[in-house]
Amino acid sequence: MISLLQFDENLFHFINSGCQNPVFDWLMPLLRNKYVWVPLYLFIVGFLLLNFEKKGLFIVLALVLAVGISDNVSSRFIKKNVQRLRPCKVLEPAQDMHLLVPCGSGFSFPSTHAANHFTVAVFLIFALGNVFRRIKIPLLLWATAIAFAQVYVGVHFPLDVLAGALLGWLIGWGVWLVFRRFLVDSSSFIVHRS
């Protein structure tokens, strides 16, 4: 465990300080800002409702449920039990790290940003991936970029975002399985291009 935590800290320094550049210094705080993504979220909701009507409404409701589960499991259950301190609380800014946003008052493990965005990405991949095959890689890159930004700005260790991504993946996939099986007839629900 000590070796793993040391590797995690070394990887944090590589990403947080070693990758430091003016473009990332501007871009990474934006990527983790929830308000930046509001237009995308509204677009997704509108797109689903306009193109798939009742099925789209079911997808939106299931997606909201999935993110709610992810957010609560991550922030209210795991973080409060693990209680790992954020790197910005453990390391000295300006000496040991490059802090670009306020540190935050909560714990670090896992990253709720990573969990929630991977939940969205994975759920949408399963819900829409058979029709819109090209959305898979952009959705995963989007979630990965947001997870990477958490480390770059100094508020999470790499293992925090890896655990958050894994948690989000499992919740997105799990909610899709339950949703597809129990809430609607899966054969009639699968989204097809009309």
Q: CA 119, 82, 94: angle at the middle one, nearest 5?
A: 90
User: What is the pLDDT, as a whole number, of residue 187?
Assistant: 44
Give the residue carrying structure tokens 């508020």: 155
Residue 86 CA to residue 150 CA, distance in Å, equals 11
Predicted confidence band of residue 191 (pLDDT cuts 50, 70, 90): low
- Work out the average pLDDT over 66-91: 91
Bigger pLDDT: 5 or 190?
A: 5
User: What is the pLDDT, as a whole number, of residue 5?
Assistant: 84
- Work out the average pLDDT over 34-42: 91
User: What is the pLDDT, as a whole number, of residue 42?
Assistant: 94
Q: Is the bond into 110 cis (omega within 30 degrees of 0)?
A: yes
Residue 165 CA to residue 143 CA, distance in Å, equals 8
47 closest CA partner among 170, 191, 185: 191
User: What is the pLDDT, as a whole number, of residue 94?
Assistant: 60
Tell me the pLDDT tens digit for each residue of 142-183: 999 999 999 999 999 999 999 999 999 999 999 999 988 765
CB-based contacts of 168, cutoff 8 Å, min separation 6? 70, 114, 115, 116, 117, 118, 119, 120, 121, 122, 143
- What's the whole-model pTM score? 0.88
**Structure tokens, 24:** 């990332």
User: What is the pLDDT, as a whole number, of residue 194?
Assistant: 46
Cα–Cα distances in angstroms (integers) from residue 127 to residues 55, 67, 177, in the given order: 10, 15, 10
CB-based contacts of 55, cutoff 8 Å, min separation 6? 184, 189, 191
Residue 97 forms beta bridges with which residues?
93
CATH topology of domain 2-189: Vanadium-containing Chloroperoxidase; domain 2 (1.10.606)
Residue 100 CA to residue 111 CA, distance in Å, equals 17
Residue 167 CA to residue 172 CA, distance in Å, equals 9
Q: Evaluate whether 32 touches 113 at the Cβ level (below 8 Å).
A: yes
Tell me the pLDDT tens digit for each residue of 96-113: 788 888 887 788 899 999
